Structure 1
Amino acid sequence: MNWQEVCDNPALQNLPYKMELNQQGQIIMSPASVMHVIFQGKIMTLLNRYQQDCLVVPEFPVETRDGIKVVDVGLLTNSQLTRLQNNISAAFAPILCIEVLSPSNTLTEMERKKELYFEKGAEEFWICDQTGQMGFYGKSGELAKSLLIRQFPQHIN
């Protein structure tokens, strides 16, 4: 199965799951909790406040060597936006990729996504845990705070 087929399939519409594809085209589904969605919304609100030159996007599908991965919250530059023309997925990652952890996520899975997004051009990768604690990462490792958005808090209330 490819990403276009997933998006077009009526049986897969309106499911309460985040969907991704692995290398074999198999669907991987993760349930979204209320807190996951709340943290996603709060992060988007803060990004819109602090970074007005970019577009904040939810659920952004990225083509990786391990299939389609979906960034929970991403930050796209204007030059990245011009590269998207009726695309069903992107061949690049947003400059900032944020994952909000769900109970079903593992640290190994997040390490893998971080690696895949950096390969596709991300400049930073953030993780929001289930308590709202933020972790910031650059290509060379963990950061004390974001270099892209220095005023972003280390904890989401």
Structure 2
Amino acid sequence: MNAGLDLPEIGDRHAFNLARWKEICEDPQLAKVGGRVESDAHGHILMSPPPGFSHSSRQSAILLLLSKKKGGRALAECPVSTSGGVRGVDVVWLSDLRAESALKENILLTSPEICVEVLSPGNTRAEMEEKRALLFEAGAGEVWFCDTKGRMFFFLKNQPDEAVEKSELCPDFPAVVE
């Protein structure tokens, strides 16, 4: 980088994400837009259209199933600060203990223990692999994917690139969600 360029550096990732997220949430024009809004590592806005019916249906079913797990709570559309910006997660399970330490100004600075992405036809493998890596890096214990047929794929922090047969945190979670 040319030493003569006067460009800001991102020193504290979470402070940057918090400040940028506040700007995004307070933008009256963005408040009028439907769909998901996230940010990338540079603070640029990423937008996705609202999910379809089957996506919403599976997201709700997963939320209801996870809400039965004791010691925490299940949430939908949860913003998480990552090294790749503020990313929205379709469904999370967050322990009460982690909620106390991770929440700051409406964003989680540490990923919930379980992060679930309900895949849409427009998602790519590279996009989902990147998101899974970002969530593990931010502290997730497990990242789950629900594909467009409702099949569940469970990834564990100690084995992040290879799906396993079942969750360690919710071993009775079904392999297929309708």
Superposed pair shares fold, TM > 0.5: yes
Distance 1:3 1:54, change over 3 A: same
- How do 1:23-62 and structure 2 match up within 5 A? 23-31=41-49, 32-49=51-68, 51-62=69-80
Q: Which amino acid aligns with 2:67?
A: N
Equivalent in the alignment of 1:148: 169
Larger Rg: 2
Q: For 1:147, what is the secondary structure of its paired residue? A: coil
Q: Which amino acid aligns with 2:126?
A: T
1:130 aligned onto 2:148: yes
Q: TM-score, normalised by structure 1?
A: 0.93
Percent of matched pairs sharing the same residue: 36
Distance 1:13 1:104, change over 3 A: same
Equivalent in the alignment of 2:21: 3
Would you identify which runs of 4 or more consecutive aligned residues in structure 1 move more than 3 Å? none
- Does the Cα contact within 8 Å between 1:3 and 1:88 map onto a contact in 2? no
Equivalent in the alignment of 2:14: none
Number of positions where the alignment pairs a residue of Structure 1 with one of Structure 2: 156
Q: Which amino acid aligns with 2:34?
A: P
Q: TM-score, normalised by structure 2?
A: 0.82
Equivalent in the alignment of 1:15: 33
RCO comparison, higher one (Cα < 8 Å, 6+): 1
| Residue ranges of structure 2 left out of the alignment (5+ in a row) | 1-18
Once residues 35 and 122 of structure 2 are traced to their aligned partners in structure 1, the CA distance between those partners, rounded to angstroms, is: 12
Please state how far the C-alpha of 1:2 moved relative to its aligned partner: 1.2
CA RMSD of aligned residues (A): 1.5
Distance 1:14 1:40, change over 3 A: farther
